[in-house]
Structure 1
Amino acid sequence: MTVTRRIANRAGLHVAGKRLEIAPATVRTAVTVPLRFGDGYGTAGRVMTFQGLVDGKEHLAIGLGDWEGAVARTAHGGEPPLVRPHSECLTGDVLGSERCDCGPQLREAVERIAEVGGFLLYLRQEGRGIGLYAKLDAYALQDVGLDTYEANTALGHGEDERDYAPAAQMLHVVGADRIRLLSNNPDKAAQLKRLGVRVEERVTTGVHLTDANARYLAAKVDHTGHTLALPRFA
């Protein structure tokens, strides 16, 4: 099954050639929220909720910095807004778990996007889309030797069940059809392109390596081609 067909089957989208036709969504509410992180960094985000997202989940788009100016400049040929689709990670984002790099990536992304204007898309797809309880079950399997992808499949899930159709819908709503993508994951770029978002540039995040996540990060490089300059690959 092609990647395009796989995405369409998961999200109920129509395939038109190599692109996916996606239903429009609308902004439901928008509210400014002051943000502050544990290291003292703070900024403000324009948090948007939506109606009509294809999976019915409560995903968020957070406009950071001069996001309106970034979108306006793009319409006149300027540099596109910087965008990070960030998958929810309770253990990393909230509890500070060092088994992954999600929390540090979230912190890094907010500051980098705020500096230039753009969006953080907070996607409710815990554990590569398999859910919180299943992710913790996968952690138990990783403790006995499986890597993060093997653990998901051992539980009867796909290696990565994340679907970026809602991310594309949100970007279309806010006028960000051309973006600079802040991500190490080539699948994010591939899916967004098939969903009508023009990825002008892929921008890598920093490497947030700890003793606890070294195997996890290495699996992302080895298995799915993440652009992480780990020490053994440098």
Structure 2
Amino acid sequence: MSIPEPRSAVAVTAPEVTVRARVGVTLQRAGGHHAELVTFSGLPDGAEHLAIVLGEPARDAPVVRLHSECLTGDVLGSARCDCGPQLEESLRRIAVEGGAVLYLRQEGRGIGLYNKLDAYLLQDRGADTFEANELIGRGPDERDYGVAALMLRALGMNRVRLLTNNPDKVAQLREHGIDVADALPTAVHRTAENARYLEAKALHQGHTIALKGA
């Protein structure tokens, strides 16, 4: 996997991030497995990011997924993206292998829900997902994974196997001192409706997605 140069991000040294609470739940979307929902104190961006710890995480290098919030895909089941299927795949795989899904409140690649929906209107007129963000005056991808590194440190997960097709996640975690031992690809959840979206991710950001025959 080709690793791009990371952007500047939240410094991992300040402030100190600690586990705030652990709440046990059973998740049907994780195949009925038990999970712990972990909240944090001291997150520098003030957002309510969440860790979903599943199974028996390996001490050496647990499997971790960084999943950015997508209300339309995760909650409503929108077919415009692959977010919902990726979240469910990650929960089920990690429940078996042991590790954590970090659910990051970075809707629309960091631009927020309303802006994402405005960008959808431009996509309907021909722009791809990255071009549409730029046309409304935002960055093509504004997500910052420095906060994810802080969460992992608080969980004692300093060395991980990252479940991702996105090389930027690997690069940013390494920039912030997390040892990414391996990048494990997710499945390609390709449909007629999201095919152009997946192609844009592969062409613009080097996601490891098969463009044909998936």
Q: TM-score, normalised by structure 2?
A: 0.94
User: Corresponding residue for 1:57?
Assistant: 47
What do the CA deviations read for 1:177-204 (whole angstroms, capped 9, x no partner)? Answer: 0000000000000000001100000000
What do the CA deviations read for 1:193-231 (whole angstroms, capped 9, x no partner)? Answer: 001100000000001011110000000011100001231
Match of 1:205 among 186, 201, 204: 186
1:43 is aligned to 2:33: yes
How far 1:110 sits from its partner (Å)?
0.5
Between Structure 1 and Structure 2, whose CA radius of gyration is higher?
1
User: Corresponding residue for 1:16?
Assistant: none
Distance in 2 between the 1:163 and 1:93 partners?
Answer: 20
Match of 1:228 among 200, 209, 213: 209
**What is the total number of aligned residue pairs between the two structures?**
211
Distance in 2 between the 1:199 and 1:35 partners?
Answer: 27
- Assess if the C-alpha contact under 8 Å between 1:23 and 1:169 holds in 2: no
**Bigger relative contact order (CA 8 A; separation at least 6):** 2
Amino acid at match of 2:40: F
**Structure 1: tracts of 5 or more residues without a match:** 14-19, 75-79
Provide the aligned C-alpha RMSD in A: 1.6
User: Corresponding residue for 1:182?
Assistant: 163
User: Corresponding residue for 1:105?
Assistant: 86
User: Corresponding residue for 1:77?
Assistant: none
1:169 is aligned to 2:161: no
Distance in 2 between the 1:162 and 1:140 partners?
Answer: 21
Secondary structure of 1:103's match?
helix
Q: What is the identity percentage for the equivalent residue pairs of Structure 1 and Structure 2?
A: 58
User: Corresponding residue for 2:176?
Assistant: 195
Secondary structure of 1:128's match?
helix
How far 1:165 sits from its partner (Å)?
1.1
Secondary structure of 1:111's match?
helix
Secondary structure of 1:188's match?
helix
- Assess if the C-alpha contact under 8 Å between 1:27 and 1:51 holds in 2: yes
**Structure 2: tracts of 5 or more residues without a match:** none
Query: Which aligned runs of 4 or more in structure 1 are off by greater than 6 angstroms?
Result: none
Distance in 2 between the 1:230 and 1:208 partners?
Answer: 11
Distance in 2 between the 1:161 and 1:60 partners?
Answer: 19
Distance in 2 between the 1:43 and 1:141 partners?
Answer: 40
How far 1:41 sits from its partner (Å)?
2.6
User: Corresponding residue for 1:17?
Assistant: none
Amino acid at match of 1:31: V
Distance in 1 between the 2:93 and 2:81 partners?
Answer: 20
What do the CA deviations read for 1:122-150 (whole angstroms, capped 9, x no partner)? Answer: 00000000000000001000000000000
Distance in 2 between the 1:227 and 1:22 partners?
Answer: 33
User: Corresponding residue for 1:215?
Assistant: 196
